Structure 1
Amino acid sequence: MTRTIIVTEAAAPAVGPYAQATRVGDLVFASGQLPIDPATGAFPEGIEAQTRRSLANLAAVLEAGGASLASVAKTTVFLKDRNDFAAMNAVYAEHFSEAAPARSTVEVARLPRDALVEVEAIALATGPAR
Structure 2
Amino acid sequence: PFACIVCSKCFRKKSTLVIHQRIHSGEKPFACTDCGKSFREKKSLFIHQRIHSGEKPFACTNCSKSFRQKKSLIIHQRIHTGEKPFSCTDCSKSFVCRDSLLSHQRIHTGEKPFVCTSCSKSFRQKKSLIIHQRIH
TM-score by structure 1 length?
A: 0.22
Structure with the bigger percentage of strand: 1
- The structure whose residues are more often helix, as a share, is 2
Q: Looking at both structures, which has the greater relative contact order when contacts are Cα pairs under 8 Å and sequence separation is at least 6? A: 1
TM-score (structure 2 length as normaliser): 0.21
